[in-house]
Amino acid sequence: MQFLTEKDIDYIAIGAAILGSGGGGDPYIGKLMAKQAIKEHGPVKFIKAGDVPDDALIIPSAMMGAPAVMIEKLPNGSEPAASFQSLEAYLGKKAYATISIEAGGINSCIPIYTAACLGIPLVDCDGMGRAFPELPMTTFSVSGVSSTPMVLCDEKGNKILLETIDNAWSETLARTATVAMGLSSMIAIYCLTGKQLKDYAVKGTISQARAIGEKIVESNKSKTNPIQSILDITNGYQLFEGKIIDVQRDLTTGFVRGNVTIEGTDVDKGSTFSLDFQNENLLGMKDGKPAAITPDLITLLDREKGFPITTENIKYGQRVIVLGMPCDPFWRTEAGLKQVGPRYFKYDVDYVPIEELARESGK
Protein backbone atom coordinates (compact mmCIF):
# COMPACT_ATOMS: atom_id res chain seq x y z
CA MET A 1 0.00 0.00 0.00
CA GLN A 2 1.24 3.47 -0.88
CA PHE A 3 0.47 6.83 0.72
CA LEU A 4 0.07 10.25 -0.86
CA THR A 5 2.00 13.05 0.86
CA GLU A 6 2.00 16.82 0.43
CA LYS A 7 4.84 16.52 -2.11
CA ASP A 8 2.79 14.10 -4.20
CA ILE A 9 -0.05 16.63 -4.33
CA ASP A 10 2.20 19.17 -6.06
CA TYR A 11 3.03 16.65 -8.79
CA ILE A 12 -0.52 15.32 -9.18
CA ALA A 13 -2.06 18.79 -9.47
CA ILE A 14 0.29 19.73 -12.31
CA GLY A 15 0.03 16.43 -14.17
CA ALA A 16 -3.74 16.18 -13.85
CA ALA A 17 -4.14 19.71 -15.23
CA ILE A 18 -2.27 18.54 -18.33
CA LEU A 19 -4.41 15.41 -18.66
CA GLY A 20 -7.46 17.57 -18.01
CA SER A 21 -7.21 19.12 -21.48
CA GLY A 22 -7.61 22.61 -20.08
CA GLY A 23 -10.53 21.67 -17.81
CA GLY A 24 -11.18 20.24 -14.38
CA GLY A 25 -10.42 23.57 -12.71
CA ASP A 26 -7.28 25.46 -11.75
CA PRO A 27 -5.24 23.09 -9.57
CA TYR A 28 -4.02 25.79 -7.18
CA ILE A 29 -7.04 25.97 -4.87
CA GLY A 30 -7.61 22.22 -4.86
CA LYS A 31 -3.92 21.66 -4.16
CA LEU A 32 -4.02 23.93 -1.13
CA MET A 33 -7.11 22.12 0.17
CA ALA A 34 -5.58 18.66 -0.30
CA LYS A 35 -2.25 19.62 1.30
CA GLN A 36 -4.00 21.20 4.28
CA ALA A 37 -6.12 18.09 4.79
CA ILE A 38 -3.04 15.84 4.69
CA LYS A 39 -1.27 18.14 7.13
CA GLU A 40 -4.21 17.85 9.53
CA HIS A 41 -5.18 14.21 9.04
CA GLY A 42 -2.07 12.48 7.69
CA PRO A 43 -1.14 10.88 4.33
CA VAL A 44 -3.86 9.34 2.16
CA LYS A 45 -3.86 5.63 1.45
CA PHE A 46 -3.39 5.14 -2.29
CA ILE A 47 -4.57 1.82 -3.70
CA LYS A 48 -5.07 0.12 -7.06
CA ALA A 49 -8.48 -0.78 -8.44
CA GLY A 50 -7.59 -4.47 -8.20
CA ASP A 51 -7.24 -4.13 -4.42
CA VAL A 52 -10.88 -3.03 -3.96
CA PRO A 53 -13.35 -5.75 -2.83
CA ASP A 54 -16.05 -6.47 -5.42
CA ASP A 55 -18.89 -5.59 -3.02
CA ALA A 56 -17.30 -2.37 -1.69
CA LEU A 57 -19.02 1.00 -2.11
CA ILE A 58 -16.99 3.56 -4.04
CA ILE A 59 -18.16 7.19 -4.33
CA PRO A 60 -16.38 9.73 -6.53
CA SER A 61 -15.93 13.23 -5.07
CA ALA A 62 -15.75 16.26 -7.35
CA MET A 63 -16.40 19.92 -8.08
CA MET A 64 -19.11 20.81 -10.64
CA GLY A 65 -19.56 24.07 -12.51
CA ALA A 66 -17.53 26.76 -14.22
CA PRO A 67 -13.96 26.49 -12.87
CA ALA A 68 -13.31 30.18 -13.53
CA VAL A 69 -15.53 31.20 -10.60
CA MET A 70 -13.21 29.39 -8.17
CA ILE A 71 -10.77 32.28 -8.62
CA GLU A 72 -13.17 34.51 -6.65
CA LYS A 73 -15.74 32.14 -5.07
CA LEU A 74 -13.65 30.03 -2.72
CA PRO A 75 -15.03 26.90 -1.06
CA ASN A 76 -15.27 27.01 2.72
CA GLY A 77 -13.80 23.51 3.02
CA SER A 78 -16.80 21.62 4.35
CA GLU A 79 -18.59 20.99 1.05
CA PRO A 80 -16.79 17.87 -0.30
CA ALA A 81 -17.17 15.87 2.90
CA ALA A 82 -20.70 17.19 3.47
CA SER A 83 -21.96 15.98 0.08
CA PHE A 84 -20.08 12.67 0.47
CA GLN A 85 -21.43 11.93 3.94
CA SER A 86 -24.95 12.97 2.96
CA LEU A 87 -24.91 10.40 0.17
CA GLU A 88 -23.54 7.75 2.54
CA ALA A 89 -26.37 8.53 4.98
CA TYR A 90 -28.96 8.22 2.22
CA LEU A 91 -27.52 4.87 1.12
CA GLY A 92 -27.14 3.62 4.69
CA LYS A 93 -23.61 2.42 3.99
CA LYS A 94 -20.09 3.74 4.45
CA ALA A 95 -17.89 4.10 1.38
CA TYR A 96 -14.76 1.97 1.18
CA ALA A 97 -12.87 4.58 -0.88
CA THR A 98 -13.22 7.55 -3.20
CA ILE A 99 -11.91 8.31 -6.69
CA SER A 100 -11.52 11.20 -9.11
CA ILE A 101 -14.44 11.54 -11.50
CA GLU A 102 -11.98 12.99 -14.04
CA ALA A 103 -8.33 13.83 -14.52
CA GLY A 104 -8.42 17.59 -14.06
CA GLY A 105 -6.70 20.22 -11.95
CA ILE A 106 -9.03 20.80 -9.01
CA ASN A 107 -10.90 17.56 -9.61
CA SER A 108 -7.75 15.55 -9.06
CA CYS A 109 -7.33 17.20 -5.66
CA ILE A 110 -10.90 17.32 -4.29
CA PRO A 111 -11.10 13.51 -3.81
CA ILE A 112 -7.70 13.55 -2.08
CA TYR A 113 -9.08 16.21 0.26
CA THR A 114 -12.18 14.10 0.88
CA ALA A 115 -10.12 10.95 1.43
CA ALA A 116 -7.86 12.71 3.95
CA CYS A 117 -10.74 14.31 5.85
CA LEU A 118 -12.71 11.04 6.09
CA GLY A 119 -9.78 8.67 6.54
CA ILE A 120 -10.55 6.52 3.49
CA PRO A 121 -8.32 5.43 0.58
CA LEU A 122 -8.07 7.00 -2.86
CA VAL A 123 -8.12 4.54 -5.77
CA ASP A 124 -5.68 5.08 -8.66
CA CYS A 125 -8.25 5.51 -11.43
CA ASP A 126 -10.92 7.86 -12.73
CA GLY A 127 -14.00 7.90 -14.96
CA MET A 128 -12.59 9.68 -18.02
CA GLY A 129 -8.79 9.46 -18.35
CA ARG A 130 -9.00 13.23 -19.00
CA ALA A 131 -11.70 15.83 -18.23
CA PHE A 132 -15.04 16.44 -19.96
CA PRO A 133 -17.66 19.14 -19.27
CA GLU A 134 -20.84 17.11 -18.62
CA LEU A 135 -21.84 14.53 -16.01
CA PRO A 136 -22.80 11.71 -18.45
CA MET A 137 -19.36 11.92 -20.08
CA THR A 138 -17.84 9.12 -18.01
CA THR A 139 -16.92 5.55 -18.77
CA PHE A 140 -19.34 4.65 -15.97
CA SER A 141 -22.31 6.36 -17.62
CA VAL A 142 -21.61 4.95 -21.08
CA SER A 143 -21.34 1.51 -19.43
CA GLY A 144 -24.80 1.87 -17.88
CA VAL A 145 -24.10 3.07 -14.33
CA SER A 146 -26.56 5.63 -12.95
CA SER A 147 -25.16 8.97 -11.82
CA THR A 148 -27.81 9.19 -9.12
CA PRO A 149 -28.49 9.25 -6.28
CA MET A 150 -26.12 12.19 -6.07
CA VAL A 151 -25.70 15.08 -3.65
CA LEU A 152 -24.70 18.66 -4.42
CA CYS A 153 -23.50 21.04 -1.71
CA ASP A 154 -22.48 24.70 -1.75
CA GLU A 155 -20.38 26.88 0.56
CA LYS A 156 -23.52 28.21 2.29
CA GLY A 157 -24.51 24.75 3.52
CA ASN A 158 -27.27 24.04 0.99
CA LYS A 159 -27.56 20.38 -0.02
CA ILE A 160 -29.57 18.84 -2.83
CA LEU A 161 -30.22 15.14 -3.28
CA LEU A 162 -31.08 14.12 -6.83
CA GLU A 163 -32.64 10.95 -8.19
CA THR A 164 -33.22 11.14 -11.93
CA ILE A 165 -34.62 8.96 -14.68
CA ASP A 166 -31.35 9.03 -16.61
CA ASN A 167 -27.92 10.67 -16.61
CA ALA A 168 -28.90 13.32 -19.14
CA TRP A 169 -31.50 14.59 -16.66
CA SER A 170 -28.85 14.49 -13.92
CA GLU A 171 -26.75 16.88 -15.99
CA THR A 172 -29.69 19.21 -16.69
CA LEU A 173 -30.97 19.42 -13.12
CA ALA A 174 -27.57 19.43 -11.41
CA ARG A 175 -26.30 22.12 -13.79
CA THR A 176 -29.37 24.28 -13.07
CA ALA A 177 -28.83 23.87 -9.33
CA THR A 178 -25.12 24.61 -9.65
CA VAL A 179 -25.84 27.84 -11.54
CA ALA A 180 -28.21 28.86 -8.73
CA MET A 181 -25.51 27.99 -6.18
CA GLY A 182 -23.18 30.52 -7.79
CA LEU A 183 -21.82 28.50 -10.73
CA SER A 184 -19.96 25.95 -8.61
CA SER A 185 -20.86 23.13 -6.24
CA MET A 186 -19.23 20.09 -4.67
CA ILE A 187 -20.76 16.73 -5.53
CA ALA A 188 -20.81 13.07 -4.58
CA ILE A 189 -21.95 11.00 -7.55
CA TYR A 190 -21.85 7.67 -9.45
CA CYS A 191 -22.05 5.19 -6.59
CA LEU A 192 -20.09 2.14 -7.74
CA THR A 193 -19.40 -1.34 -6.53
CA GLY A 194 -15.82 -2.52 -6.50
CA LYS A 195 -16.69 -4.83 -9.40
CA GLN A 196 -18.03 -1.93 -11.49
CA LEU A 197 -14.94 0.09 -10.68
CA LYS A 198 -12.67 -2.69 -11.94
CA ASP A 199 -14.76 -3.21 -15.06
CA TYR A 200 -15.30 0.40 -16.16
CA ALA A 201 -12.74 2.82 -14.65
CA VAL A 202 -9.72 4.19 -16.48
CA LYS A 203 -6.85 2.72 -14.48
CA GLY A 204 -3.62 4.40 -13.37
CA THR A 205 -4.68 7.99 -14.08
CA ILE A 206 -3.43 9.49 -10.82
CA SER A 207 -0.08 7.71 -11.09
CA GLN A 208 0.31 9.01 -14.63
CA ALA A 209 -0.54 12.53 -13.48
CA ARG A 210 2.05 12.28 -10.72
CA ALA A 211 4.73 11.11 -13.16
CA ILE A 212 4.01 14.01 -15.52
CA GLY A 213 4.04 16.58 -12.73
CA GLU A 214 7.30 15.28 -11.31
CA LYS A 215 8.98 15.51 -14.74
CA ILE A 216 7.91 19.13 -15.12
CA VAL A 217 9.09 20.13 -11.64
CA GLU A 218 12.42 18.33 -11.99
CA SER A 219 12.99 19.77 -15.47
CA ASN A 220 12.52 23.28 -14.15
CA LYS A 221 14.98 22.61 -11.34
CA SER A 222 17.58 21.31 -13.78
CA LYS A 223 16.82 24.00 -16.42
CA THR A 224 15.93 21.38 -19.03
CA ASN A 225 12.96 21.24 -21.41
CA PRO A 226 10.09 19.15 -19.97
CA ILE A 227 8.05 18.97 -23.19
CA GLN A 228 9.60 15.81 -24.60
CA SER A 229 9.18 14.01 -21.25
CA ILE A 230 5.47 14.86 -21.26
CA LEU A 231 5.11 13.62 -24.83
CA ASP A 232 6.92 10.38 -23.96
CA ILE A 233 4.64 9.65 -20.98
CA THR A 234 1.42 10.47 -22.88
CA ASN A 235 2.42 9.35 -26.41
CA GLY A 236 1.55 12.89 -27.43
CA TYR A 237 2.49 15.45 -30.09
CA GLN A 238 3.55 19.08 -30.09
CA LEU A 239 0.96 20.72 -32.35
CA PHE A 240 1.79 24.41 -32.27
CA GLU A 241 3.87 27.15 -30.69
CA GLY A 242 2.87 30.78 -30.54
CA LYS A 243 1.41 33.84 -28.82
CA ILE A 244 -2.22 34.19 -27.77
CA ILE A 245 -3.71 37.15 -29.66
CA ASP A 246 -7.41 36.78 -28.79
CA VAL A 247 -9.54 35.13 -26.08
CA GLN A 248 -13.34 34.96 -26.02
CA ARG A 249 -14.96 33.54 -22.87
CA ASP A 250 -18.51 33.22 -21.47
CA LEU A 251 -19.69 31.76 -18.13
CA THR A 252 -23.45 32.30 -18.25
CA THR A 253 -24.45 28.69 -18.95
CA GLY A 254 -22.56 27.11 -16.05
CA PHE A 255 -19.59 26.26 -18.26
CA VAL A 256 -16.54 28.22 -19.35
CA ARG A 257 -17.19 28.44 -23.10
CA GLY A 258 -14.95 30.21 -25.55
CA ASN A 259 -12.31 30.34 -28.23
CA VAL A 260 -8.61 31.16 -28.34
CA THR A 261 -6.60 32.37 -31.33
CA ILE A 262 -2.84 31.77 -31.32
CA GLU A 263 -0.39 33.44 -33.69
CA GLY A 264 2.48 31.16 -34.65
CA THR A 265 6.10 31.81 -33.71
CA ASP A 266 9.39 30.07 -34.51
CA VAL A 267 8.65 26.97 -36.64
CA ASP A 268 4.96 27.92 -36.76
CA LYS A 269 5.54 31.54 -37.77
CA GLY A 270 3.01 32.57 -40.40
CA SER A 271 0.37 30.09 -39.18
CA THR A 272 -2.54 30.48 -36.76
CA PHE A 273 -4.14 28.03 -34.38
CA SER A 274 -7.76 28.27 -33.19
CA LEU A 275 -8.89 26.42 -30.07
CA ASP A 276 -12.53 25.95 -29.00
CA PHE A 277 -13.36 25.01 -25.41
CA GLN A 278 -16.31 24.21 -23.13
CA ASN A 279 -14.51 23.94 -19.78
CA GLU A 280 -12.18 21.59 -21.70
CA ASN A 281 -10.37 22.17 -24.99
CA LEU A 282 -12.40 20.35 -27.65
CA LEU A 283 -11.21 21.28 -31.13
CA GLY A 284 -7.87 22.58 -32.36
CA MET A 285 -7.57 23.95 -35.91
CA LYS A 286 -4.27 24.90 -37.54
CA ASP A 287 -4.74 27.19 -40.53
CA GLY A 288 -8.36 26.08 -40.79
CA LYS A 289 -7.65 22.34 -40.72
CA PRO A 290 -8.25 20.02 -37.73
CA ALA A 291 -5.09 19.33 -35.72
CA ALA A 292 -6.75 17.64 -32.73
CA ILE A 293 -10.37 16.65 -32.11
CA THR A 294 -12.27 15.60 -28.99
CA PRO A 295 -12.09 13.06 -27.35
CA ASP A 296 -8.31 13.31 -27.86
CA LEU A 297 -6.64 15.66 -25.38
CA ILE A 298 -5.55 19.21 -26.22
CA THR A 299 -3.54 21.13 -23.64
CA LEU A 300 -1.91 24.55 -23.53
CA LEU A 301 1.46 24.83 -21.79
CA ASP A 302 3.47 27.85 -20.74
CA ARG A 303 6.32 27.91 -23.27
CA GLU A 304 9.03 28.76 -20.75
CA LYS A 305 8.32 26.35 -17.91
CA GLY A 306 5.93 23.78 -19.35
CA PHE A 307 3.21 24.32 -16.75
CA PRO A 308 -0.39 23.75 -17.92
CA ILE A 309 -2.76 26.65 -18.56
CA THR A 310 -6.39 25.86 -17.77
CA THR A 311 -9.14 27.53 -19.79
CA GLU A 312 -10.05 30.06 -17.08
CA ASN A 313 -6.41 31.24 -16.93
CA ILE A 314 -5.83 31.85 -20.65
CA LYS A 315 -4.77 35.47 -21.23
CA TYR A 316 -3.83 37.69 -24.14
CA GLY A 317 -0.10 37.72 -24.81
CA GLN A 318 0.80 34.39 -23.25
CA ARG A 319 3.49 32.43 -25.09
CA VAL A 320 2.25 28.87 -25.32
CA ILE A 321 2.84 25.42 -26.71
CA VAL A 322 -0.15 23.32 -27.77
CA LEU A 323 0.08 19.59 -27.07
CA GLY A 324 -2.21 16.86 -28.40
CA MET A 325 -2.48 13.45 -26.76
CA PRO A 326 -4.47 10.30 -27.59
CA CYS A 327 -7.48 9.59 -25.38
CA ASP A 328 -8.21 6.31 -23.64
CA PRO A 329 -9.29 3.69 -26.22
CA PHE A 330 -12.75 3.52 -24.59
CA TRP A 331 -13.65 6.90 -26.07
CA ARG A 332 -12.83 5.79 -29.61
CA THR A 333 -15.61 3.20 -29.58
CA GLU A 334 -18.93 3.96 -31.24
CA ALA A 335 -20.61 4.45 -27.86
CA GLY A 336 -17.79 6.64 -26.61
CA LEU A 337 -17.78 8.92 -29.66
CA LYS A 338 -21.55 9.26 -29.51
CA GLN A 339 -21.17 10.76 -26.02
CA VAL A 340 -18.00 12.88 -26.38
CA GLY A 341 -17.13 13.08 -30.09
CA PRO A 342 -17.15 16.33 -32.13
CA ARG A 343 -20.68 15.84 -33.44
CA TYR A 344 -22.06 15.82 -29.88
CA PHE A 345 -20.57 19.30 -29.39
CA LYS A 346 -22.09 20.49 -32.70
CA TYR A 347 -18.80 20.64 -34.60
CA ASP A 348 -19.20 19.86 -38.29
CA VAL A 349 -16.20 17.52 -38.40
CA ASP A 350 -15.75 13.78 -38.03
CA TYR A 351 -13.40 12.35 -35.43
CA VAL A 352 -9.96 11.46 -36.72
CA PRO A 353 -7.41 10.03 -34.24
CA ILE A 354 -4.62 12.44 -33.43
CA GLU A 355 -2.04 9.93 -34.65
CA GLU A 356 -3.49 10.17 -38.15
CA LEU A 357 -3.76 13.96 -38.07
CA ALA A 358 -0.16 14.22 -36.86
CA ARG A 359 1.03 11.88 -39.60
CA GLU A 360 -0.79 13.92 -42.26
CA SER A 361 0.79 17.15 -40.97
CA GLY A 362 4.26 15.63 -40.70
CA LYS A 363 4.45 15.88 -36.91
pLDDT at residue 71, rounded to an integer: 67
* 236 within 8 A of 326, measured Cβ to Cβ: yes
Q: How confident is the model at residue 76, as a pLDDT?
A: 84
- How far apart, in whole angstroms, are the C-alpha atoms of residue 104 and residue 24? 4
* Alpha-helical runs (H) found in the chain: 6-19, 27-41, 79-91, 105-118, 139-142, 167-180, 194-200, 205-222, 227-234, 334-340, 354-361
Instruction: Confirm if 130 and 52 have CB atoms less than 8 A apart.
Output: no
For range 63-73, the mean pLDDT: 76
User: For the residues 72-76, what does the mean pLDDT come to?
Assistant: 79
pLDDT score for 277: 93
Is the per-residue pLDDT at 254 higher than 70? no
What is the average per-residue pLDDT within 161-165? 98
So what's the pLDDT on residue 1? 62
Distance CA 67, CA 256 (A): 7
All structural domains of the chain, each given as residue ranges with its CATH number in brackets, are: 2-203 (3.40.1610.10), 237-361 (2.40.390.10)
Q: Check pLDDT > 90 for residue 70.
A: no
pTM: 0.93
Going by pLDDT thresholds of 50, 70 and 90, the confidence category of residue 68 is low
Mean pLDDT of 253-275: 91
Q: Has residue 175 got a pLDDT over 90? A: yes
Peptide bond into 295 cis (omega under 30): yes
Task: Identify the weakest region by mean pLDDT among 70-84, 226-240, 299-313.
Answer: 70-84
Mean pLDDT for all residues in the chain: 94
> pLDDT value at position 362?
74
Residues in Cβ contact with 258 at an 8 Å cutoff, skipping those fewer than 6 apart: 247, 248, 249, 250, 276, 277, 311
Please, which pLDDT band fits residue 312 given cuts at 50, 70 and 90? confident
Q: Who wins on pLDDT, 279 or 262?
A: 262
